[in-house]
């Protein structure tokens, strides 16, 4: 059994360096709970592709942390120089603070829908969070390229069923049905899991001042509330689908490439 657990309070220390808050801590916690089952099903990956960095919230430090825990080579692609530079700086800060394990990370500046023809660019696992929604009509191409380069992949995207994305987060969003349709078009794929996650008791896009975020790191009440959020997160598994599709922040799919 591969252990990739990390509590919300521990994530919070990382998220503060990212410039984020407890909402991102909850998101990372929720995603890794799902990825743990997937990775235990496919086996420990040696090479991981981070197929684009998030559009707005966080820098996918959960994926970098995962690469370090699994001692996997991690390759990051994105077409935005500023995003790649920011990730490099945050990774250095986290490693100096000993909040992130040392692991081999390399960066490639390229469009997430580019073709990868090099035989060196083949991966055991590709991960994507808050990328697909900004590709407009290129979603199908993006998924096709993931199938070409990765044995397995997991995509997380803002849930279009949650109206707060348009009103508060400012992110475009994706229907779960659209994710399923694009993956089901490929006969070589096997869908392992899909659905809705990340349903904290606050809407997407909610933010707090830096001062309040810093106070939360040392407040006993806030730490207790973070522990309560972990218990709350466990309830996501038993929440009826008709509720999830309206309040979940994220829709996801996990695919094995046969």
Q: SS3 sequence, 70-135? A: CCCEEEEEECCHHHHHHHHHHHHHHHHCCCCCCCCEEEEECCCCCCCCCCCCCECEEEEECCHHHH
The candidate with the shortest Cα–Cα distance to 257, out of 132, 148, 112, 127, is 148
Query: Mean of the per-residue pLDDT values for the chain?
Result: 87
CATH of 8-257, one of 3.40.50.150, 3.10.450.200, 2.40.30.10, 3.10.20.340: 3.40.50.150
Q: Domain map of the chain by residue range?
A: 8-257
Alpha-carbon dihedral 217, 220, 226, 227, rounded to 10 degrees: 140
DSSP β-ladder status, 47-51 and 125-129:
parallel
Report the C-alpha gap between 140 and 138 in whole angstroms. Answer: 6
CA 48, CA 66: separation in Å to the nearest integer? 9
Name the residue with tokens 């250095």.
92
User: Residue 254 pLDDT more than 90?
Assistant: yes
Residue 165 has pLDDT above 80, yes or no: no
Higher local confidence (pLDDT), 68 or 4: 68
Alpha-carbon span 154 to 5, nearest angstrom: 18
Per the DSSP assignment, residues forming a β-bridge with 154 are: 127, 254
User: Which neighbouring-strand residues pair with 256?
Assistant: 152, 190
pLDDT in tens, 125-163: 999 999 999 988 789 999 999 998 999 999 999 999 998
How much is the pLDDT for 210?
A: 57
- Cα angle 197-127-58, degrees, rounded to a multiple of 5: 65
Quick: pLDDT tens for 75-126: 999 999 999 999 999 999 998 888 888 778 999 998 887 776 666 678 999 9
Selected residue with higher pLDDT from 232 and 86: 86
Residue 33: band (very low, low, confident or very high) from pLDDT cuts 50, 70, 90: very high
CB 75 within 8 A of CB 47: yes
CA distances from 62 to 35, 103, 155, 188, 247 (A): 11, 14, 14, 28, 22
Mean pLDDT of 56-82: 93
């Amino acid at each position: 059994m591969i252990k990739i657990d990390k509590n919300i309070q521990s994530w919070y220390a990382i998220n503060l360096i990212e410039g984020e808050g407890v909402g991102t801590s909850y998101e990372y916690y929720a995603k890794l709970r799902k990825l743990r089952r997937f990775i235990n099903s496919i086996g420990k990956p040696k090479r991981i592709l981070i197929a684009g960095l998030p559009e707005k919230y966080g820098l996918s430090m959960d994926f970098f942390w995962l690469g370090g825990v699994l001692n996997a080579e991690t390759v990051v692609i994105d077409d935005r120089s500023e995003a790649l530079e920011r990730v490099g700086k945050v990774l250095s800060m986290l490693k100096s603070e000993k909040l992130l394990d040392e692991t081999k990370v390399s960066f490639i500046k390229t469009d997430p829908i580019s073709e990868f023809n090099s035989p060196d660019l083949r991966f055991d696992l590709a991960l994507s969070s808050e990328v697909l929604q900004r590709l407009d009509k290129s979603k199908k191409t993006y998924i096709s390229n993931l199938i070409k380069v990765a044995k397995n992949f997991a995509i997380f995207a803002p849930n279009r069923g949650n109206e707060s994305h348009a009103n508060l987060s400012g992110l475009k969003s994706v229907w779960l049905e659209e994710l399923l349709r694009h993956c089901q078009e490929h006969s070589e794929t096997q869908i392992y899991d899909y659905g809705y996650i990340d349903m904290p008791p606050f809407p997407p896009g909610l933010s707090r001042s830096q001062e309040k975020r810093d106070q939360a790191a040392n407040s006993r009440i806030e730490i207790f509330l973070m522990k309560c959020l972990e218990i709350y997160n466990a309830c996501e598994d038993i929440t009826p689908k008709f509720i999830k599709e309206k309040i979940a922040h994220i829709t996801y799919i996990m695919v094995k490439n046969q």
